Structure 1
Amino acid sequence: MSVPRPSSVSSLTKERDSTISPLPQGKPFLRSGDAALAILDEDTQQRQITPEEDRRVLRKIDLWLLPVVLMVYFLQQLDKSSLSYTSVFGIIQETGLVGSQYSWLSSIVYVAQLIWQPVSSYLLVRLPVAKYLFVHVFMWGAVVACTASATNFKGLITSRFFLGLFEATVAPSFITITQMWWRRREQTMRLSMWMAMNGVTGMVGSLMSYGLGHIHGSLKPYQTIFLFIGLLTVVCSPIVLLVLPDSPTKAKFLTHDEKIIALERLRANNQGTETKVWKWEQVWDLMLDPKTYLWFLLLFVCAVPSGGIGAFGPLIIQGFGFDQFKTILFNIPFAAFQVVVTILSAYVSTKIKLKWPVIFGLTLPPIAGVSALLVLDHGPEMKNKLLGCYYVPMLYTWSSQNTAGHTKKTCTTGMVFVAQCAGNIVGPLLYRTQDKPFYRRGLISNLICWIALAVLTLMTAGYLAFQNRQHAVRRVSLGKTGKVLDTSLEKHVHDDANAGVRNDQSFHDLTDSQNEDFIFAL
């Protein structure tokens, strides 16, 4: 299945030209093009960037944006993980949870995200990203703080539903921000840095919960944890509004010349920055693109074990024979290992300019670890071996770097996070508190998912390679060079003309299917 394309070069040109209308000054302008066109003069020669300018502007972008992105993702993971911390401090007993009620407290967050994700995808195109994100950060912090007042299943599941609703926009917003600020080579490490905050949250959150759990006052330990974490998010939320720009064209910390440099750095991505025009033809492109369904399956089979272990991980460790305080502390080495593996994987992927071998390799330790957990005994003498098998890395996909067209990018991000939500809904439900300490049903399901992930990774890499060959044929038919260098994956910004590629449609808001200059990252 593929996206219908014009049957000839002339019809393709006619289709593109139909979107162009003259400004009063007579200057051609792509009416529904990228916001970058307000800064870049498409009639003049492309600005050539020196390595010094490249490093200077990149450093400025990193110092201004990364701390905010990392802070928000840390807070989001901390708030979401608060339930697993409170599970060790008796929330199940204190609130009278029975059967699969605890599992539903984890799953309901993703049910809410599943509901809100399509709406969020549309609003991310239409509204300023930073301001939209600020409202959600503030609201979910307030919800977590209010969760401290819940004393039964009804109160807890209501607050967890609204937590999921407000958290639904975080990861899609960050994908959008990453695509509009960094080159594809740089995106891998930046994405991994904010994803590594999962591990940082695990370390800090475990220590924080360990300390809060020792507080003996009028509030129960689980209430203290919810209240403290929620208020921390509320206090930090204004930083998003005050520091984070909505796009490179609106960044007050950059001069006009630095904005040009920042935008020209992105030209080789062929992904543009943003446009506030919702384009239904790009939604149609998305639905007919086989990659969409590969991304969906990759995220789903990855999220099922992630969701299950995320909710029941502390309980699995507790089942090894540790008390509640040691259980919390034993989460820290796993979290630290997660940070190391995530950053190291990103470094290797950037170095070899390939993602699929790294992702495939990361599926092997979980397969081995879960297999061992199913075979080994759970007696006290097996604590260390069981603990070592539980420490397996989580993975992430490379879908954001292989999608262009602002509406399509946003919808693809929404689609993969719908898959993640669905997996995180299913994952915890495969574990039941009565199955402790073995949790065989959940672990067998995880094993199946990780094997499927390995197979799907190979299939996706093969399809992307096929798409690159198809685009090369199209470039030749249009009089361009067939085999070109993907300069977006090079260490420094290149002169695209000398690399054999023109990239003159980078800011025309074309999808990856429409733009023959787009090169898919393997």
Structure 2
Amino acid sequence: MSQTGAPKQQQDEQVESIDAAPHSAPGPDRNMKEDQALELIEDIGHSTILTPENNAHVLRKIDLRLLPILLGIYFLQQLDKSTLAYASVFGIIEKAHLHGQDYSWLGSVVYLAQLVAQPLVAYCLVTLPLGKFLAVSTLLWGIMLSCMTAADSFGSLLACRLLLGLFEAGIAPAFIAVTQMWYRRREQPVRLGSWYAMNGVVNMFGSLLTWGLGHINSPVLAPYQIIFLFFGLITVGLSLVILIYMPDSPIKSKFLQEEDKLVAIERLRMNQQGFESDKWKWDHVKEACLDVKSWIWFALMFSISIPSGGISTFGPLIIESFGFNKFNTILFNIPFGAVQLVATMGGAWLATILKMKGPVLILLCLPPIAGCVMLLRIPHDNMHKAPLLAGYYIISVYPGITPLIYSWSAANTAGETKKKVTTGILVVGQCIGNVIGPNLYTTAEAPLYTRGLTSNLAMFCVLIVLCTSNMAYLTVLNKKHEKRRVELGKDAKPIDHSMHAVGAVEADKEDMPVQVLAQDNAFKDMTDMKNEDFVYVY
């Protein structure tokens, strides 16, 4: 395939696929293949060239099919998790005779179940079809939430919440896997942020829905039981939609035509992360467990999940402690969701523009630090309701941190099995933090919640230190890969096209040789440590 006669602008626009996607590559023996993308290219007999036009066309089709499903799933999952916080306002603590740490453990046990389930989840995400996995998981957690309607004691609620956490354990890891499988690294922060932003939407519309459901006078069901049943049945209905419309992968999707599938493959070639493989590899597991980055992701997620778990469980009670009744408490939780939404999407947008996530994460830690200080220092009386609410709303910037950690980890990990194991380690950190977080708050400490807020303040400061350390470590890894590339006769610092828009023309491109990251490693299911062409992003 020669491009010598093509205009200079066309060469620039197609630089990501020149020589990386030959139209008639014979391909290696099928038994030697590491990735199903290579099998599809060989079956069709040719690859394709990625252009701004066909990239935009296929990306639009992918977004229109995947995002509504992912947003719907995560919206209901967060509603399902939030039902306990809403139920606390509508009398579940009194009617279920919860005392001491009982309510805190109902918030924590969900994450304890998810923690235990992560090894199995990682294996399932490699070996099972993703679409079917999501459909079954959604069905089971919807059934379990509906069953919580009949729970009227701590023991029965604890059992239901434990099973609810077990069935929800694979949702976030599956979403990360979907994002890695369908999107370029440049596109991942906004897509990850979009479904995680459902936390904010839930706090807005979920609060309104709950406010309405709480006004239903039923001689049979208490308001909190109506909340459980309503959202549980909706979740069961969504599982059927997922089963019908959620594709397992780009290669197996029915909504993409043959040429669209080839474009989907070429879109991800520059990620150097592989495409799809159903082989579980123990050497990937070993590398993930020994990789320092894995434990930095663990520490980052652990640190943000302690305040996240505590505030999400006790948020309505914190507002109620300012002196509001139960209905005003629910309504005043709506601005909390609006700030979450803006912070999550704003952080994702800024990370995309800067092509860096570490500095954005540090920036997002500053408002919650200020908010915690305000709640700890401002007197809790009727004269200070407004500044107390302002402090609470400032804290609500913190949900923008979690999806950026997801995205940062996803963009810096390659190899199908390693990606799933690394995500599992990250989610384990999240679960442990969410188990500890609610238990740092107790209803006995109302209205100040000093221990919980102080620990949250400390964790936001720790996050800043961890982000700085991680950026330094990624710099070291990039230097090592540069040295290996030079030893192999490659450019030390190739352009990382996965972080640039398709067809983007860098200002100094005319003075540079046109070089594309080596295509030989793109679909070999190599880990990021072993693939010298992998470029770590900050």
Q: Above 0.5 in TM-score? A: yes
Bin the TM-score by the shorter chain: over 0.9
- 2:301 maps to 299
- 1:145 maps to 146
- Which amino acid in 1 is paired with 2:465? V
- Which amino acid in 1 is paired with 2:256? L
Shift of 1:503: 3.4
| Residue 373 (1) aligns with residue 375 (2) | yes
- Which residue, out of 274, 292, 295, partners 1:290? 292
- Which amino acid in 1 is paired with 2:492? G
Q: Work out whether residues 37 and 507 of structure 1, in 8 Å CA contact, stay in contact via their aligned partners in 2.
A: yes
Q: Distance in 2 between matches of 1:26 and 1:69?
A: 35
- Which residue, out of 333, 336, 342, partners 1:334? 336
- 1:204 maps to 205
Shift of 1:444: 0.7
- 1:7 maps to none
Q: Distance in 2 between matches of 1:479 and 1:456?
A: 35
- 2:8 maps to none
- Which residue, out of 511, 514, 517, partners 1:501? 517
Q: Work out whether residues 144 and 163 of structure 2, in 8 Å CA contact, stay in contact via their aligned partners in 1.
A: yes
| Residue 418 (1) aligns with residue 419 (2) | no
Q: Distance in 1 between matches of 2:152 and 2:503?
A: 56
- 1:511 maps to 527
- CA deviation profile, 1:264-317 (whole Å, cap 9, x unmatched): 000010112221100000011111111011000000000000000010010000
- Which residue, out of 466, 471, 480, partners 1:461? 471
Q: Work out whether residues 112 and 161 of structure 1, in 8 Å CA contact, stay in contact via their aligned partners in 2.
A: yes
- Which amino acid in 2 is paired with 1:347? W
Question: Taking structure 1 as reference, are residues 516 and 323 closer, same or farther at Cα in structure 2, changes over 3 Å only?
Answer: same
- 2:446 maps to 436
- CA deviation profile, 1:350-374 (whole Å, cap 9, x unmatched): 0111111110000111111101111
Question: Taking structure 1 as reference, are residues 26 and 501 closer, same or farther at Cα in structure 2, changes over 3 Å only?
Answer: closer
Shift of 1:37: 1.3
Q: Distance in 2 between matches of 1:273 and 1:35?
A: 7
- CA deviation profile, 1:162-209 (whole Å, cap 9, x unmatched): 000000000000000000000000111000000101111111110111
- 2:89 maps to 88
Q: Distance in 1 between matches of 2:55 and 2:33?
A: 28
Q: Work out whether residues 117 and 169 of structure 1, in 8 Å CA contact, stay in contact via their aligned partners in 2.
A: yes
- 1:120 maps to 121
- Which amino acid in 2 is paired with 1:273? F
Task: Map residues 26-425 of structure 1 onto 2, 5 A cutoff.
Answer: 27-29=28-30, 31=32, 33-41=34-42, 47-217=48-218, 218-391=220-393, 392=395, 393=397, 394=399, 395-396=401-402, 397=405, 398-425=408-435
Question: Taking structure 1 as reference, are residues 286 and 44 closer, same or farther at Cα in structure 2, changes over 3 Å only?
Answer: same
- Which amino acid in 2 is paired with 1:513? M
Question: Taking structure 1 as reference, are residues 26 and 148 closer, same or farther at Cα in structure 2, changes over 3 Å only?
Answer: closer
- Which amino acid in 2 is paired with 1:325? F
Q: Distance in 1 between matches of 2:416 and 2:255?
A: 24
- CA deviation profile, 1:56-93 (whole Å, cap 9, x unmatched): 01101111111101110111111111100111111101
Q: Distance in 2 between matches of 1:402 and 1:327?
A: 41
Q: Work out whether residues 101 and 442 of structure 2, in 8 Å CA contact, stay in contact via their aligned partners in 1.
A: yes
Q: Distance in 1 between matches of 2:187 and 2:40?
A: 22
- CA deviation profile, 1:214-261 (whole Å, cap 9, x unmatched): 001121011010010101101111111111111110011111111000
- Give me the CA root mean square deviation: 1.7
Q: Distance in 2 between matches of 1:326 and 1:45?
A: 62
TM-score w.r.t. the length of structure 2 is 0.90
- 1:14 maps to none
Q: Work out whether residues 487 and 499 of structure 1, in 8 Å CA contact, stay in contact via their aligned partners in 2.
A: no
Q: Distance in 2 between matches of 1:270 and 1:46?
A: 17
Question: Taking structure 1 as reference, are residues 384 and 72 closer, same or farther at Cα in structure 2, changes over 3 Å only?
Answer: same
Question: Taking structure 1 as reference, are residues 42 and 510 closer, same or farther at Cα in structure 2, changes over 3 Å only?
Answer: farther
- 2:500 maps to 490
- 2:13 maps to none
Shift of 1:467: 0.9
Q: Distance in 2 between matches of 1:435 and 1:26?
A: 66
Q: How many residues align?
A: 498
- CA deviation profile, 1:87-114 (whole Å, cap 9, x unmatched): 1111101111000000000000001101
- Which amino acid in 1 is paired with 2:391? C
Shift of 1:454: 0.7
Shift of 1:41: 3.6
Shift of 1:35: 1.5
Q: Work out whether residues 128 and 246 of structure 1, in 8 Å CA contact, stay in contact via their aligned partners in 2.
A: yes
Gap regions ≥5 residues in structure 1: 1-24
Q: Work out whether residues 27 and 38 of structure 2, in 8 Å CA contact, stay in contact via their aligned partners in 1.
A: no
Shift of 1:133: 1.2
- 2:6 maps to none
Q: Distance in 1 between matches of 2:517 and 2:339?
A: 41
- 2:22 maps to none
- CA deviation profile, 1:5-63 (whole Å, cap 9, x unmatched): xxxxxxxxxxxxxxxxxxxx994346351121121249988632121111101101111
Gap regions ≥5 residues in structure 2: 1-25
Q: Distance in 1 between matches of 2:333 and 2:384?
A: 17
- 2:485 maps to 475
Q: Distance in 2 between matches of 1:45 and 1:132?
A: 31
- Which amino acid in 1 is paired with 2:321? G
- Which amino acid in 2 is paired with 1:516? E
